[in-house]
Structure 1
Amino acid sequence: MSEALEILKKYWQHDRFRPLQNEIIDSVLSGKDTFALLPTGGGKSICFQVPAMMQKGICMVISPLIALMKDQVANLQSRDIKAIALTGGIKSNEMIDLLDNCQFGNYKFLYLSPERLQSDWILERLKNIDINLIAIDEAHCVSQWGHDFRPAYLKISNLKTTFPKVPFLALTATATDRAKEDILKELGLEKPVSFHQSFARKNIAYMVFEAEDKIYKIQQILKKNPQSSIIYVRNRRSCKEISSQLQNLGFKATYYHGGLHSREKDKNMALWMEEKAQVMVATNAFGMGIDKANVKTVIHIQLPENIENYYQEAGRSGRNGNKAFAILLTSPSDKLQAESQFINTLPDKSFLNLVYLKLNSFFQIAYGEGINETFSFNLNHFCLKYNFPVLKAYNAIQFLDRQGVLSLSQEFSEKISLQFIISSKEVLRYISMNRYDEEIVLAILRTYPGIYEIETAFNSALIAKKSHHSEKEVLKLLEKLQEKKIITYHSKGNDTSLTFNEIREDERTISRVAKYLENQNQLKKDQLQSVLHYVSENNICKSKLILSYFGEKQTTDCGICSYCISNKQKTTNIETLSKQILKLLKIEALNSREIENRTHTNNDTIIFVLQQLLENEIIIVNPNNTYTLKS
């Protein structure tokens, strides 16, 4: 057995590698720069985690996604593998300690954002660390033709000078041919070995259905396929609303979005992972690090922003190899809604400049100041104060985030501060009389020695770990201690924070990043057009359309998508169904759902036949959306 497979078995409990993983690992171990395009579910992280474990030194992983970094670090730590992430909000003195750990503490993985590499002192510290591999995750971010371009990625190529003998591994799940060429060029990979796994997922049936009543259609789909499902929605409010609607219809459903507290996220995730909830209703915040093999159905009820995101989200179905469904529900108004959300809200340079100026005013940041300052941020309050359209302002702030000017964090955090207001002698007396509370109280006192003198920021997860209790038990004890007037305890929930990564320079700052704005706006328009083409093109296999977008050619139809299925049905059922509908309409006017229920035929076929009958002027549509025979 190879050493790589032994490592895979020991730490990840897998008996074999997925396609191309072993070849990519061999390439990296031989010291070659490597590019790997592995679509969703291909197991990209194993490609750098296994070779890093096989060698002396530490693997540096560059990633733009804080949530993904945290998830991977937690995953590695759960396997007793030492890993650190240098995420936003870490103070310089803490950063020094973490980098000392990397240098002297036998750590195997260091995760950091590309923006961190722009700090000269961090780069100098990295030179003293024994780095065995540099992995660039989400490598499409280096390309202006990628769906999440970040200029900070352009600086990664400078590491070639600093670490000339360390191999680079660039990884992405979604890149068009044009984006791939850009990645290889901008990262400065030397004679790279490229690995491509096909985007074809032969077990996934890509379905596009037009539905006037989407909840009714979802009900039909979930009844027909009662296995594990994901429903993607556009915003947080829809998560809860649709989850509640499904529960009222008798389905076991839960929901997930970036604004939930970590405890609620964990609880809802557990319900779904443990098959106690059939349906997870989620925003696109859900999915990173989720590997549930038996997801039967992924349903999108609104148009996605681009094919790249849709492919990744749809690809969370059918990872066990069994037949699965990726369903996109559309209605006539969806195009206008998508254009309103994704195109009409794109900021131009003058609006971007205005938002940046008002953000500095909002937080009272003087010219030449503000670097590394973090603030709680309420977008609605900000927009209300300056009369900004919310979506357009959000897109402007998100653009500044991607350019590294700001960092926008949308993970829920609970800020807790507390202080002991009785003497240490009285606290010890309390402990002696309440032995069950002893471990937690002592952990607090040892961790925060100044907690008698000043109200102190408190990390409940850390205390839970140190005291060998659950976080829930720690928080319950804090409430108890406050009731007994032993501590003062304040808890403030916050789901968005804003960090300024640069000093305020107004027009100079915006001029530097605005050169990318026009190109990115045009790319977003082109990407939405690709989505609209995918939805509206009814004469080509849906699998072919997706593969074509990513530069792959498929000569045969998949046989299982909505186009292929309707094509089969049309040839056999159209004439019979037309007669059946006309017979029903002789008796009374009916809407499409009533016709669907009486003919026991799927809605797509009904709509197709009704359109044909309308075009041939055999029937007419009434103002109340019912159909009747033309007199």
Structure 2
Amino acid sequence: MQKALQILEQYWNHKSFRSVQEDIIQSVLDGNDTFGLMPTGGGKSLCFQVPAMVNEGICLVISPLVALMKDQVAQLQSKNIKAIALTGGIKPDDLIDLLDNCQYGNYKFLYLSPERLEQDWVLERIKALPISLIAIDEAHCVSQWGHDFRPSYLKIKNLKSHFTKIPFVALTASATPQVQEDIVTLLGLENPKLFQKSFARENLGYHIIKAEDKLYKIKQILQKNTGPSIIYVRNRKNCHDYASQLNTLGFKATFYHGGLSVKEKEANMASWMKEVNPIMIATNAFGMGIDKPNVKTVIHVNLPESLESYYQEAGRAGRNGEKAFAVLLSSPSDVIQAESQFLEVLPEVAFLKDVYVKLCNYFQIAYGEGIAEEFPFSLTHFCHQYKLPVLKTFNGLQFLDRQSIISLSNEQSEKVQVQFIIDSREVIRYISLHPNDEPILNSILRNYAGIFEMQTNVNTVFVAKNAGTTETNVLNLLEKLKGLGVVELFSTQNESKITFLEVREDDRTINRVAKYLEKQNLNKKNQLASVVAFVSDELQCKSRLLLTYFGEKSEKDCGICSYCLSQKPKEFSQEEIRKQVLQLVNEAPKTSRELSENIRMEEKQLLIILKQLLEYNLITINTKNQFTPI
């Protein structure tokens, strides 16, 4: 362990390990198969990176996330540690060169996706490498009950027969007891040492707050807790909307979502990290590699798809050990919206067959052919041609990708970015002078918030459909507006690619993986049901509910969640509140919300006192729903 500590200090500038990290690393160095269950932010990567640096040879890291692989490789390379990632889109000749580098170039880390193990020649090359450790990251993906089941993970077990004396270390941030059992069995771990860091976060209060007006509630929360915050929203449009609204209210907010360019993502992330804009509005694309210890509040505006993802996102608050808050805003319509967002876009077997057949027809692939053929691909054009729902189709293609039936890379094929560079009043004037352009311009203005402030990705097929015209007319108008100096227009043609990894066999192809799809869909339904149960349960401590979900027992309530605080008696003098109300309404008419803000009291409790004052004829209500003195 002394050498491990030296490496930790030399490369990572830390002088000691966290408790579970040290246990896992010692187990790996002792040659044991090891299973580490560590919540987000626990430092999982060090659990295989440090022992790999201690031992001679190469650490094989199997990870499902391309972005995570690239990020870790970049971090290792910045420390002058030799690492390579075999990501998608690499040509066979380049793959051969990279594997040669691993064999003869004194590399320490080889990252690859589990799908690579299904390529026999890649597997044979790996068997020839001096492997010292095999690390399986995001190991929950091996389980059909996990939240991202990938059958290709099941191939990892085959490595056991060749690397008989090499330890395996499986790591994940979130796994229920059933998933944990699956991981051990399906990876073939032999007498594994299990190390689990508690999921309890003693400094983090989980709060479920009912709110019809969510923007108003966010304003209250941010005014009360002024530290850096993350606000998770449903989609890209909401990112722009909430950022714009909060900036208008005097807050400093930026945003992050998958539709931004790399440059925009980096700039917005930097402005948040440096607290130029301490509030980050984000979709769930904002997650990987976030290491900001002083986040005070994480707010979920909508229901997350699972308690696994909620725990990870909420857990980005309070990593410095100071008191922090994870707030989930709840309204009656949330369940319907979540079902629409997460469940209605799940592809059932019949839909998947339809998409697969149409995809083959789209590229004119004959039955029994197509293997290894590669094509440029536009998702929007494909869906438009066959009148398919975009999200559901994309989820279907992703499933086919995970089953290694196709390889789908870079789903956004053509990016059109637009920014209006004249005042909004001038745009209205332009529309009045050019009425034929009004439908397209209205479609753009209605659907793309922030288009006056920044370059905004515009889906031209969607705009055309809304405007009752063609995509060509939309593009022609944008070009005209660019020439007139009305907009800045940027268009890139970085098409995504689809590679067919199997011959076309239609029903036979899909029937073989149908059971996986059905299990995936059932699992996602169950996960959302667990979220709904967590939010609606008003009889138990929220922290204990989460711990129970992850198979951990707790004998006491946390004392700081919304349930625990609701059990504490509220002490306030009704007489004093009445005096404050009368004083405030004498100064100027006020709504119940304004009174609640001034008195710093929950509106629901304040309404009881207001009702009393109305009954005593000490105040009245005007036509603007404001309270005034009689």
TM-score (norm 1): 0.80
Q: Residues 386, 411 of structure 1: CA spacing in aligned structure 2 closer, same or farther, 3 A cutoff?
A: closer
- Say if 2:206 and 2:562, in contact at 8 Å, map to a contact too: yes
- 1:295-338 CA deviation, whole Å, 9 max, x = no partner? 11111111100000010111111111111111111211111101
- Say if 1:228 and 1:296, in contact at 8 Å, map to a contact too: yes
Deviation of residue 517 (structure 1)?
Answer: 1.7
**1:213 and 2:213 aligned:** yes
- 1:571-620 CA deviation, whole Å, 9 max, x = no partner? 54698899999999x99x9976356336531357669x79x99xxxxxxx
Alignment-mate amino acid for residue 79 of structure 1: K
Q: Residues 330, 493 of structure 1: CA spacing in aligned structure 2 closer, same or farther, 3 A cutoff?
A: farther
Find the aligned partners of 1:330 and 1:625 in 2 and give their Cα distance.
27
Q: State the partner residue of 2:473.
A: none
Find the aligned partners of 2:414 and 2:392 in 1 and give their Cα distance.
28
Runs (5+) with no aligned partner, structure 1: 416-489, 614-621
**1:291 and 2:291 aligned:** yes
Q: State the partner residue of 1:100.
A: 100
- Say if 2:377 and 2:413, in contact at 8 Å, map to a contact too: no
Q: State the partner residue of 1:401.
A: 401
Q: Residues 214, 551 of structure 1: CA spacing in aligned structure 2 closer, same or farther, 3 A cutoff?
A: same
Q: State the partner residue of 1:194.
A: 194
Find the aligned partners of 1:495 and 1:249 in 2 and give their Cα distance.
40
Q: Within 5 A, what are the aligned runs for 1:106-117?
A: 106-117=106-117
**1:182 and 2:173 aligned:** no
Alignment-mate amino acid for residue 512 of structure 1: R
Deviation of residue 405 (structure 1)?
Answer: 2.3
TM-score (norm 2): 0.80
Find the aligned partners of 2:530 and 2:173 in 1 and give their Cα distance.
18
Runs (5+) with no aligned partner, structure 2: 416-489, 613-620
Q: State the partner residue of 1:337.
A: 337
- Say if 1:209 and 1:604, in contact at 8 Å, map to a contact too: no
Find the aligned partners of 1:399 and 1:273 in 2 and give their Cα distance.
34
Q: State the partner residue of 1:41.
A: 41
Q: State the partner residue of 1:225.
A: 225
Q: Number of residues paired by the alignment?
A: 541
Alignment-mate amino acid for residue 120 of structure 1: D
- Say if 1:207 and 1:328, in contact at 8 Å, map to a contact too: yes
> Which deviates more, 344-353 or 159-168?
344-353
Please give the secondary structure, in 2, of the residue aligned with 1:255. strand
Please give the secondary structure, in 1, of the residue aligned with 2:568. helix
Q: State the partner residue of 1:549.
A: 549
Q: State the partner residue of 1:308.
A: 308
> Which deviates more, 153-162 or 245-254?
245-254
**1:270 and 2:257 aligned:** no
Find the aligned partners of 2:302 and 2:579 in 1 and give their Cα distance.
33
Q: Within 5 A, what are the aligned runs for 1:595-614?
A: 596-597=596-597, 599-602=599-602
Q: Residues 373, 57 of structure 1: CA spacing in aligned structure 2 closer, same or farther, 3 A cutoff?
A: same
Deviation of residue 368 (structure 1)?
Answer: 3.6
Q: State the partner residue of 1:89.
A: 89
Q: Residues 133, 361 of structure 1: CA spacing in aligned structure 2 closer, same or farther, 3 A cutoff?
A: same
Deviation of residue 535 (structure 1)?
Answer: 0.9
**1:10 and 2:10 aligned:** yes
Find the aligned partners of 2:279 and 2:86 in 1 and give their Cα distance.
34
Alignment-mate amino acid for residue 319 of structure 2: R
Q: State the partner residue of 1:433.
A: none
- 1:479-525 CA deviation, whole Å, 9 max, x = no partner? xxxxxxxxxxx982548554433333221211111111222211111
- Say if 2:89 and 2:409, in contact at 8 Å, map to a contact too: no
Alignment-mate amino acid for residue 64 of structure 1: P
Q: State the partner residue of 1:70.
A: 70
Q: State the partner residue of 2:239.
A: 239
Alignment-mate amino acid for residue 220 of structure 1: Q
Q: Residues 217, 408 of structure 1: CA spacing in aligned structure 2 closer, same or farther, 3 A cutoff?
A: farther
- 1:124-173 CA deviation, whole Å, 9 max, x = no partner? 11111100000000100111111111111111101101211111000000
Q: State the partner residue of 2:507.
A: 507
- Say if 1:134 and 1:169, in contact at 8 Å, map to a contact too: yes
- Say if 1:85 and 1:111, in contact at 8 Å, map to a contact too: yes
Q: State the partner residue of 1:426.
A: none
Find the aligned partners of 2:578 and 2:491 in 1 and give their Cα distance.
67
Q: State the partner residue of 2:56.
A: 56
- Say if 1:297 and 1:325, in contact at 8 Å, map to a contact too: yes
Q: Residues 509, 557 of structure 1: CA spacing in aligned structure 2 closer, same or farther, 3 A cutoff?
A: same
Deviation of residue 115 (structure 1)?
Answer: 0.5
Q: Residues 208, 129 of structure 1: CA spacing in aligned structure 2 closer, same or farther, 3 A cutoff?
A: same
Find the aligned partners of 1:512 and 1:574 in 2 and give their Cα distance.
69
Deviation of residue 258 (structure 1)?
Answer: 2.0
Please give the secondary structure, in 2, of the residue aligned with 1:275. coil
Q: Within 5 A, what are the aligned runs for 1:405-424?
A: 405-410=405-410
Please give the secondary structure, in 1, of the residue aligned with 2:299. strand
- Say if 2:64 and 2:138, in contact at 8 Å, map to a contact too: yes
Find the aligned partners of 2:19 and 2:625 in 1 and give their Cα distance.
52
- Say if 1:297 and 1:324, in contact at 8 Å, map to a contact too: yes
Q: State the partner residue of 2:538.
A: 538
Find the aligned partners of 2:544 and 2:626 in 1 and give their Cα distance.
35
Please give the secondary structure, in 2, of the residue aligned with 1:20. helix
Q: Residues 600, 24 of structure 1: CA spacing in aligned structure 2 closer, same or farther, 3 A cutoff?
A: same
Find the aligned partners of 2:339 and 2:591 in 1 and give their Cα distance.
29
Deviation of residue 374 (structure 1)?
Answer: 4.7
Q: Residues 595, 368 of structure 1: CA spacing in aligned structure 2 closer, same or farther, 3 A cutoff?
A: farther
Q: Residues 92, 329 of structure 1: CA spacing in aligned structure 2 closer, same or farther, 3 A cutoff?
A: same
Q: State the partner residue of 1:383.
A: 383
- Say if 1:259 and 1:410, in contact at 8 Å, map to a contact too: no
Deviation of residue 199 (structure 1)?
Answer: 0.5
Alignment-mate amino acid for residue 213 of structure 1: D
Find the aligned partners of 2:331 and 2:606 in 1 and give their Cα distance.
15
- Say if 2:101 and 2:107, in contact at 8 Å, map to a contact too: yes
Find the aligned partners of 2:300 and 2:136 in 1 and give their Cα distance.
30
Please give the secondary structure, in 1, of the residue aligned with 2:281. strand
Q: Pairwise CA RMSD of aligned residues?
A: 3.1
Q: Within 5 A, what are the aligned runs for 1:420-499?
A: 492-494=492-494, 497-499=497-499
Q: Residues 573, 149 of structure 1: CA spacing in aligned structure 2 closer, same or farther, 3 A cutoff?
A: farther
Q: State the partner residue of 2:251.
A: 251
Deviation of residue 262 (structure 1)?
Answer: 1.4
Find the aligned partners of 2:505 and 2:573 in 1 and give their Cα distance.
66
- Say if 1:407 and 1:498, in contact at 8 Å, map to a contact too: yes
- Say if 1:262 and 1:412, in contact at 8 Å, map to a contact too: no
Q: State the partner residue of 2:468.
A: none
Q: Residues 292, 153 of structure 1: CA spacing in aligned structure 2 closer, same or farther, 3 A cutoff?
A: same
